Amino acid sequence: MLFNTKSSEWFGTDYTMNIYRGCNLGCIYCDSRSDCYRIDNFDNVQTKASCISTLKRELAQKKNGVIGFGSMSDPYNHADTRLHLTRQALTLIEQYRFGAVMCTKSHLILRDIDLLKKINDHSSLLIGFSITTTDDKLCKKIERHASTASQRLAAMEKLAQQGIYTGTVLMPVLPFITDNIDNITKIIHETHSHGGQFIFPWFTLSLRDSQREYYHLWLEKLFPEQRQIYSHTYQNHYLLYSPNYKILQTVFIKECNKLGIKYNMSDIISGYKKNKYTPQLDLF
Ligand code: SF4
């Protein structure tokens, strides 16, 4: 259940763990839909009944470190409203004095703020909010069942007020949809004004196999003009760089530097790590 990760570049996690497979937050660009992850019926969230007891057993045996979770699903997907497995996992993580890294698009995380505060008191904790636009209307189109960007930012502010290290994970940037200076600048300023200390960006979009088909279907439905532009510009490319890539990157760095927002992974890691943990492995 817990998988070791090699001195992870992904927010410096020592272990990775997935309680859920599949996600019902409905992002039209979701990479976890790709065939390589072999998750059937992706919108129907699955979990193993034994996952919490397995986690408990593994935490008792492993060396303390930071656990990253939610790479195959949002830890606060709608199933968690009912199942509370993320809360149960956090309870164990707190009891066994591990740290955690979570990324979410849901303000449901505030349900667990008491546990997050306790973890933060003794271990390294980072909460990233995945934000691709500050426009709530656009957000509801491209991240159909997730909390709005405003709700995520409000949640970020509440966590920051409790001294929790939080910020924005800005990925993907959708060519011809969210790849404009105004959007990127607003994300930076909103993150800053809501107490976020970092933004980790990726100014591109990856598409492969069935995920590409899914994205194209939604483009057709929501942005028919852009669908045509994608066909001409990218065909079946895996990485879709925005034509504005360079200018966006330049503006991003300038604005972040002005506001003191961290954006390099090494700076973000040193910003939240309270202790140096040993190499990463997988929990499950
Ligand atoms: S929240 Fe994350 S895992 Fe869930 S659909 Fe959106 S991108 Fe995929």
Residue 116: pLDDT over 90: yes
Residue 7: pLDDT over 50: no
Average pLDDT over residues 115-131: 97
Percentage of the chain surpassing pLDDT 90?
87
Cα(30) to centroid(ligand 1), Å: 5
Rg (CA), the chain: 18
Residue 49's pLDDT is what?
80
Residue 125: pLDDT over 90: yes
Q: What's the chain's average pLDDT?
A: 93
Q: Which CATH superfamily is domain 2-283 in?
A: Aldolase class I (3.20.20.70)
Residue 205: pLDDT over 90: yes
Average pLDDT over residues 171-177: 97
Q: Environment class of residue 207 by beta-carbon count within 10 Å: exposed (0-12), middle (13-18) or buried (19+)?
A: buried
Handedness of CA 272, 108, 202, 196 (dihedral sign): negative
- Bridging pattern class, strands 66-69 and 46-47: unpaired
| H-helix segments, 23-112 | 51-61, 78-83, 85-95
Cα gap 268→198, rounded to integer Å? 6
Cα gap 203→240, rounded to integer Å? 9
Pocket test residue of 44, 73, 215 for ligand 1, highest count of atoms within 8 A of CB: 73
Q: Which position has the token pair 């790590």? A: 273
The reply to whether the predicted model has a pTM over 0.85 is yes
Diameter over CA atoms, the chain: 54
Residue 127's pLDDT is what?
98
Task: Reduce the DSSP state of residue 61 to 3 states and report it.
Answer: helix
**Nearest alpha carbon to residue 204 among 240, 168, 154:** 240
Nearest atom (ligand 1) to Cα of 73: 3
Cα gap 129→107, rounded to integer Å? 9
Q: C-alpha 173: how far from its chain's center?
A: 13
pLDDT tens-digit profile of 209-232? 999 999 999 999 999 999 999 999
Residue with the smallest CA separation from ligand 1 atom 8 is 30
Residue 256: pLDDT over 90: yes
pLDDT tens-digit profile of 70-115? 778 999 999 999 999 999 999 999 999 999 999 999 999 999 999 9
Cα gap 282→284, rounded to integer Å? 6
Ligand 1 pocket list (CB less than 6 A): 23, 25, 27, 30, 32, 73-74, 105, 146
Residue 5's pLDDT is what?
59
* Type of residue at 56: K
Contact 87, 115 (CB under 8 A): yes
Residue 262's pLDDT is what?
97
Contact 149, 139 (CB under 8 A): yes
Nearest atom (ligand 1) to Cα of 103: 2
Give the least confident one: 57-71, 94-108, 154-168, 268-282.
268-282
Q: C-alpha 145: how far from its chain's center?
A: 15
Contact 102, 69 (CB under 8 A): yes
Residue 37's pLDDT is what?
87
Residue 139's pLDDT is what?
97
The 8-class DSSP code of residue 143 comes to B
Average pLDDT over residues 176-197: 98
Residue 162: pLDDT over 90: yes
Residue 36's pLDDT is what?
87
